[in-house]
Structure 1
C-alpha cells in the first residue's frame, strides 16, 4: 500500500511523509481514495487495510486526550499540533490492538502449517516466535514476551482489546496490564477485563508502574491461594544482566528478592554516606557503584577494611583467574597514546582503547595523567593473549578445526567477533557456537562457518526450513538449508541444492536469514576492531613511497 505525500513534491509520492505538511495543491484524501480503488488484493488483505484506515480515521476524529480533534482545529494553530500528536498516540493504541490480534493469528497459522507437514504435536508452533520476531524486526526475546502478552489479551481479555482499539487506554498501559497478569488464571484475567471494560475512566492519568501495582493487588485479592506459588515462581526468575552504554560505561541490573534488594541498597547507601562524612568528594551514587564492584571483584572483607574504618573504594583489579576477553591492537595497548583507537570487550562491544589502558593501570576511566601513587604494585592478575588482526580491515586470522565441536580458542574468536547473538535483531548473550552450514552436511568447524548464538536462537533454528545465504557483495549468494532435517520434503528449490561451504578463513560480509514462512533479515559479520582510516583512501598513493623529486610535475 502506498502512502500519501505530505511534502512539496510535484507528483504524488515525491513528498517527505514525516515532515510537516505544506499546503497541498489538491485534495490528498481524494488521492488516497483513488489509490485504494486501484489496489488489487484479496478479501483478507483488503480487510486489514480497511482496519488500519478505520483506526487512523478514529484517531483523528475521536481523539481522547485533547479538547478539539484535528478536523475542528484551525490550520497552523498550536491546537492543531497537539491534536496531531494526540491522534498519533491514539492511532498507536489502535494499531497495537490490531497487532496483538495478528500475532495470535500468525502463531495459530504457523502451528496449523506444522501440523499439516506432520511435525510432532509438542513441536508444532515452537518456531513461530522466531519467525514473528524476524518479520517485526525485533529480538526473539522481545517477540516472545510480546506474544505472551498478545495471547493473554486476545484470548482472555477481549474487553481490554476493544478499549485499546478505541484509544481509551494507551499501548503502554495494555502492555503493563498483560505483564502484571503473568501467571494469573484465565478466570482472574476475565474478571479484571470486565472491570476495565465497564470502568475505563479508572485508567485516566495512571502511569504503568501504578497501574501494575493496582492489577497485582487485584490478583492478590482474587487468587490468595496461589500467592505462595507465584512468589516461588518469581524467585526462580531472579537474574543479573548487563546493558552496554556510551563512553565505556554499562548498566548492570539485578532482579532479586525484594528483601535482599532493600538490604543491599541500604548497605551500599550507609557505607557511601560514611565515606562522604569522612571527607570523600565523590558523589554518593558513584561511591555506591564503586563499593558494589569492589565487593564482587575483591570480596566484602577486603572492601570493608577494619571495623569502624571508612575508606575510599579503590579501582579493583580482577581476581586472579578471572578471564575477561579484550581485543586490542598492540599499538593501542603499549604504543602511542592515541585516543582514536578502539578495542573490543567480550560481552560488551566497542569501547575507547584508552579506557582499557587506564583500567589495567587501576585508574578511573578518563584519567588525564598517570598517578603511580594511586595504584601500587600488586600481584599480577591480568594476562595477555596476542591475536593479530589485519591493520586495515580489522579481520582476525582465521582458524579451522577437524572436530565437530569448536575448540576453545576458535570459540573465543567467535565470541569476540560477534559480541552478541548473530540472529537478526537479537541482542542476547552468546551461549552456543553454531555451524551455519551444519556439520553433518559438510559444514566446516571454521571461523567463517561459525557464529555465536544464544541458547534460544540455536535451538529454534533447527525447527522448520530456515535458509541462510552468504552475502559477499560480489556474486549472488547460493541459498543454504541450515537444518537438513525436516518432516516434509523441501518446499523450495534452493533448499534442495547441496550447501557450498565458505572459505574457512574468510567470513562472508553477512548472512541472509529467511524463515520457513518468508520473513527475512540480514546478519552482518562485524569486524573485531573497527579499522582506522586508510592512509591511501584519500590520495590513492602509497604512504611509504619516497617523495617525488622537486622538479617532478604535479600529478
Structure 2
C-alpha cells in the first residue's frame, strides 16, 4: 500500500493525501516526526509507544484477512477489507488498555483518598463516577464495565494478553467477563488458562455460543453452587420496556430459559401457521401480535369473570382486538390455557404446563445427567438457548420450579408437566451426536433436526442468528452427500449470500487447510467431497470470502467435559505475539507485546 497516495475516505473532511504524490514528504514520516517531538513524561511516552505498537501490529499482522494492509493493492477490495480487519484488531488492543487503565484509575483514586484521610470504608467510593465522566458513559454502564475490567485484569491475564494481541475480540472478552460475574476467582483462572493456551478456539464464535460454552464450563467447575445460582437468577426475572422511535417500544423479558424457549417456539409455530393460511404480515410481526393478543385476551377473560378490573380504560381498537382474540380459537393455547381464562376464584390458581403441548423443544442431555440426581456438574443443551444446568431440566420434568433448593422437596400443585421426549445418543468420548445420511437432496426432517441441535446457531463465523436452513457444505451438485458430516445449519441471510461469489470452505487441519471447496457453481479449488465420514464431521471449517476475508466456524462440542485438557489448535500467524515491546509503565496500562 502506498502511504503517500490513497483514495480511502477520511472522517471529518477532505482527504489531505489526495495530492500527496506531488509532495516529497511521506505522511508516515510526518506523523512519526511529530510524535517524537512531543514533550511528555516517560510514562506518557510509554503509553504513546504502546498505542503505536498496537497500531503497527493491527495492520501488519491481521489474522482475519488473507492479505495484510502493506501487501494489498491501492484501491482494491482487499485493501478495504484489510483496513477494516486492522481497525477491529486495534479495537481489541485498545480494549485491553482501557480495562487496565480503568483498574489503574480506581486504584489511584483509592490511594488519593487514603492520603487525604478518607475513612477506609469510603475510599474509592467516587471512582466509578469519575471514570464514567472520563469515558463519557453513564455511571451504571461504567459500573458494569469496571467490574468486568477488574475481573479480567486481576484474575484473567491470559485473556487480556489475547485481547491485546487481537486473538480475542472486545465483545468476546466482555462476554467472557460477564459470564463469569458470579464465578469464583479460581474458576476464572482455570478458564483463563484454557483461553491462553488455545485462543484460536474462540475464533468465529459469536457471543451467544461463547456465553453458552462458558456457562457449561462454570457448571462443570462449580457444581456445588449451581442450584443457589439458578435459584438466585430465577428470583430476578422481570419485564422492562424501552421506548423506540415512531411510536414503537421494546418489551424485554428475563425469564426462565425453558419457559422462554417454549414461548418462542409456540409463537413461531402459530405465526408460520398464520402465514401458511394466507396472512400477509411477516412472521416476526405476527409473533409480536400473538404475544400481545395472548396477554390482553387473558386480561379480557379475567375481567369478564369478575376477577380483575374491567377493561373500560382500554382503547376501542384494543378492546376490539382482545374481544376477537377471545372469541376466536385460542392461537396461544398451551401457554395461556382456556381454564386459566375461565378462572373465577383467585384463591384457586390454574395449573399451567411447564412446556407447551404440541411444541417440540430440543434438549440434548446424557442419561447420566438425566437420572443421576447427585451429580450437579452435568449440563444439558437447550435448542435456541444453549448450555443449561442439567438439574434445571430434571426439576422441570418433575414439575418443580427450575433452580429450587434441595430443601424444597414438596409438591408444587401449580405446576404440571407436558413434555415430548426424543432420545438422542452421543459419543461418550467426543460428545458428538450420532450421525445419519440420506440419498435425498433435501435433508430429511430427522437429520435436519440433528444438525440444528448440533450447531445451535448459524454456522457462519461470528453469526448468532437462529438456524432456519440446512445447507450442504460441499454443494449437492458438486457431489456433496446429504449427510450429518456435510450438513450445517445456517440462517436465511447467510445461506443465500453464501452462494453469491466464490466463497471457499476449507477443513481446518494441522497444515492449515487441505480439502477446500467452492460454494460457487462453476469452480472448485479442491476435491468435491466431504472430509471424514457420515458420523464424523470436521472439527472446523475455514471460510474465505471472495476478496480474502477469513473466519473459522467450529463444530460446537455438545456436553463435553470442561475440565479435560484442551487440545492445542493448529498454529497460525494470528497467534504469534507481535514483535517489538515498549518499556513497561508502572503500573502497566496494558500488557506489553511479548
Name the CA shift for 1:267/1:375 in 2 (closer, same or farther; >3 Å): closer
For residues 119 and 260 of structure 2, the distance between their equivalents in structure 1, rounded to whole angstroms, comes to 44
- Residue 168 of structure 1 pairs with residue 160 of structure 2: no
| Aligned positions of 1:301-312 closer than 5 A | 302=301
CA contact (8 A) 2:268 2:287 kept: yes
Equivalent residue, structure 1, for 2:264: 265
Q: Deviations over 1:188-245 (max 9, x none)?
A: 1111111111111211222221111111111111111111122123223322222222
CA contact (8 A) 1:159 1:194 kept: yes
Equivalent residue, structure 2, for 1:211: 210
Give the C-alpha shift of residue 268 in structure 1. Answer: 4.5
Equivalent residue, structure 2, for 1:362: 317
Give the C-alpha shift of residue 137 in structure 1. Answer: 1.4
Equivalent residue, structure 2, for 1:50: 49
For residues 197 and 131 of structure 2, the distance between their equivalents in structure 1, rounded to whole angstroms, comes to 33
CA contact (8 A) 1:5 1:16 kept: no
Q: Deviations over 1:114-136 (max 9, x none)?
A: 22333333332232222212211
Equivalent residue, structure 2, for 1:290: 289
Name the CA shift for 1:153/1:260 in 2 (closer, same or farther; >3 Å): same
Give the C-alpha shift of residue 140 in structure 1. Answer: 2.0
CA contact (8 A) 1:5 1:15 kept: no
Counterpart secondary structure, 2:317: coil
For residues 144 and 14 of structure 2, the distance between their equivalents in structure 1, rounded to whole angstroms, comes to 30
- Residue 137 of structure 1 pairs with residue 136 of structure 2: yes
Please say which of residues 73-82 and 196-205 is displaced more in the overlay: 73-82
Give the C-alpha shift of residue 286 in structure 1. Answer: 3.2
Give the C-alpha shift of residue 275 in structure 1. Answer: 6.5
CA contact (8 A) 1:295 1:303 kept: no
Equivalent residue, structure 2, for 1:460: none
For residues 127 and 297 of structure 1, the distance between their equivalents in structure 2, rounded to whole angstroms, comes to 45
Equivalent residue, structure 1, for 2:37: 38
Q: TM-score, normalised on structure 2?
A: 0.47
For residues 198 and 27 of structure 1, the distance between their equivalents in structure 2, rounded to whole angstroms, comes to 41
Query: Which consecutive unaligned segments of at least 5 residues does structure 2 have?
Result: 324-594
For residues 61 and 316 of structure 2, the distance between their equivalents in structure 1, rounded to whole angstroms, comes to 62
Equivalent residue, structure 1, for 2:87: 88
| Aligned positions of 1:353-432 closer than 5 A | 362=317
Equivalent residue, structure 1, for 2:233: 234
Please say which of residues 82-91 and 293-302 is displaced more in the overlay: 293-302
- Residue 251 of structure 1 pairs with residue 250 of structure 2: yes
Give the C-alpha shift of residue 258 in structure 1. Answer: 1.5
Q: Deviations over 1:73-113 (max 9, x none)?
A: 22223222222111111101111100010011111122222
Name the CA shift for 1:266/1:78 in 2 (closer, same or farther; >3 Å): closer
For residues 374 and 182 of structure 1, the distance between their equivalents in structure 2, rounded to whole angstroms, comes to 43
Counterpart secondary structure, 1:362: helix
CA contact (8 A) 1:59 1:88 kept: yes
- Residue 179 of structure 1 pairs with residue 178 of structure 2: yes
CA contact (8 A) 1:5 1:17 kept: no
CA contact (8 A) 1:297 1:319 kept: no
For residues 64 and 267 of structure 1, the distance between their equivalents in structure 2, rounded to whole angstroms, comes to 42
Give the C-alpha shift of residue 6 in structure 1. Answer: 9.2
For residues 310 and 51 of structure 2, the distance between their equivalents in structure 1, rounded to whole angstroms, comes to 55
Please say which of residues 255-264 and 79-88 is displaced more in the overlay: 255-264
CA contact (8 A) 1:68 1:83 kept: yes
Rg (Cα) greater in structure: 1
| 1:22 alignment partner, one of 15, 18, 29 | 18
Bigger relative CO (Cα 8 Å, ≥ 6 apart): 2
Name the CA shift for 1:161/1:273 in 2 (closer, same or farther; >3 Å): closer
Counterpart secondary structure, 1:242: strand
For residues 281 and 67 of structure 1, the distance between their equivalents in structure 2, rounded to whole angstroms, comes to 44
CA contact (8 A) 2:300 2:322 kept: no
For residues 4 and 106 of structure 2, the distance between their equivalents in structure 1, rounded to whole angstroms, comes to 34
For residues 31 and 152 of structure 1, the distance between their equivalents in structure 2, rounded to whole angstroms, comes to 40
Name the CA shift for 1:281/1:57 in 2 (closer, same or farther; >3 Å): closer
For residues 85 and 244 of structure 2, the distance between their equivalents in structure 1, rounded to whole angstroms, comes to 32
Give the C-alpha shift of residue 178 in structure 1. Answer: 1.0
CA contact (8 A) 2:296 2:322 kept: no
Q: TM-score, normalised on structure 1?
A: 0.50
Give the alignment's Cα RMSD to 1 decimal.
3.7
Name the CA shift for 1:236/1:206 in 2 (closer, same or farther; >3 Å): same
Q: Deviations over 1:511-551 (max 9, x none)?
A: xxxxxxxxxxxxxxxxxxxxxxxxxxxxxxxxxxxxxxxxx
- Residue 114 of structure 1 pairs with residue 113 of structure 2: yes
CA contact (8 A) 1:7 1:16 kept: no
